[in-house]
């Protein structure tokens, strides 16, 4: 069985949509999946009111319950103004019974269409989410399993006619940095 599950199964990573099935077997490829550390993404979100830029740390799901998510930022084009924008952040439990979904919208004196730094620091004590190096919130939950960084631009439409002139939809990423804590020295001598 591949990491994402056998063909035809519902097993896989980031299972937030019901009814999906694995169509193609893909071998596991793990690049950087820390248990604790810090991630910082410098980004400018789309100002399109139908778009959302998401920056998440999501469980790698070696085990199905290791599926929680640290939502560093969800930046909706229709939640912005020139002087104030809303940043959605927190934790999503998904299929992890040890977690409780705890999401919050916070209005900040920024324009998300300009470059800003969105970061999370997490360890055995909990999660700290920051915007431009300023603490946005603390979440006293622990995700002590491998996490992978996902950055995605979503478009939400309500059945209206697609205008090709409005494409491509875009957000801009200037930098992505990640850090893991140093391993303790188990050979003190």
* Measured distance CA(170)–CA(7) in Å, rounded: 33
pLDDT (average), residues 92-108 = 96
In a domain, 44, yes or no: yes
In a domain, 126, yes or no: yes
Mean pLDDT of the chain: 86
CA 76 to chain centre: 14
> Quick check: 189 pLDDT over 50?
no
pLDDT (average), residues 168-189 = 80
In a domain, 32, yes or no: no
In a domain, 48, yes or no: yes
Peptide bond before residue 71 is cis, with ω within 30 degrees of 0: no
Give the pLDDT confidence score for residue 187 in this predicted structure. Answer: 46
> Quick check: 188 pLDDT over 50?
no
| pTM of the complete model | 0.84
- The CATH number that applies at residue 122 is 2.60.120.200
pLDDT (average), residues 9-35 = 69
Give the dihedral sign, CA 40/41/47/50.
negative
In a domain, 139, yes or no: yes
Give the pLDDT confidence score for residue 108 in this predicted structure. Answer: 97
Give the pLDDT confidence score for residue 70 in this predicted structure. Answer: 98
C-alpha R_g of the chain? 18
Q: Is 122 exposed, middle or buried (0-12, 13-18, 19+ CB in 10 A)?
A: buried
Contact indicator for 36, 123 with CB cutoff of 8 Å = yes
In a domain, 98, yes or no: yes
* Measured distance CA(109)–CA(87) in Å, rounded: 11
Query: In total, how many domains does the chain have?
Result: 1
In a domain, 19, yes or no: no
* pLDDT digit string, tens, across residues 121-150: 999 999 999 999 999 999 999 999 999 999
Q: Report residue 43 as tokens.
A: 């980004």
The range of the structural domain enclosing residue 46 comes to: 37-156+170-178
* Confidence label for 20 from pLDDT (cuts 50, 70 and 90): low
* pLDDT digit string, tens, across residues 33-70: 999 999 999 999 999 999 999 999 999 887 888 999 99
In a domain, 134, yes or no: yes
Worst-scoring range by mean pLDDT, 2-11, 75-84, 130-139, 150-159? 2-11
Q: Which residues contact 135 (CB under 8 A, 6 or more apart)?
A: 128, 129
Q: What string of DSSP letters covers the chain?
A: --TT--TT-S--SS--STT----S------S---SSEEEEEEEE----TTEEEEEEEEE--SSTT---EEEEEEEEGGGB-SS-EEEEEEEE-TT-TT---EEEEEEESS-TTS-EEEEEEEETTEEEEEETTEEEEEE-----S-EEEEEEEEE---SPPP-GGG-S---EEEEEEEE-PPPP-S---
């Amino acid at each position: 069985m591949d990491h994402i599950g056998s063909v035809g199964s519902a097993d896989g990573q980031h299972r937030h949509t019901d009814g999906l099935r694995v169509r193609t077997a893909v071998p596991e490829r793990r690049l950087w999946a820390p248990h604790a550390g810090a991630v910082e993404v410098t980004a400018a979100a789309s100002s399109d009111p139908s778009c959302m830029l998401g920056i998440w740390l999501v469980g790698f799901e070696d085990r199905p319950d290791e599926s929680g998510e640290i939502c560093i930022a969800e930046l909706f084009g229709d939640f912005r103004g020139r002087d104030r924008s809303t940043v959605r952040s927190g934790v999503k439990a998904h299929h992890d019974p040890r977690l409780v979904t705890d999401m919050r919208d916070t209005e900040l004196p920024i324009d998300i269409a300009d470059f800003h730094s969105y970061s999370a620091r997490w360890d055995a004590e909990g999660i700290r989410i920051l915007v431009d190096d300023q603490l946005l919130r603390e979440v006293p939950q622990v995700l002590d399993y491998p996490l992978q960084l996902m950055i995605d631009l979503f478009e939400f439409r309500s059945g209206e006619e697609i205008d090709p002139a409005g494409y491509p939809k875009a957000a801009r990423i200037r930098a992505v940095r990640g850090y893991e804590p140093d391993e303790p020295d188990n050979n003190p001598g």
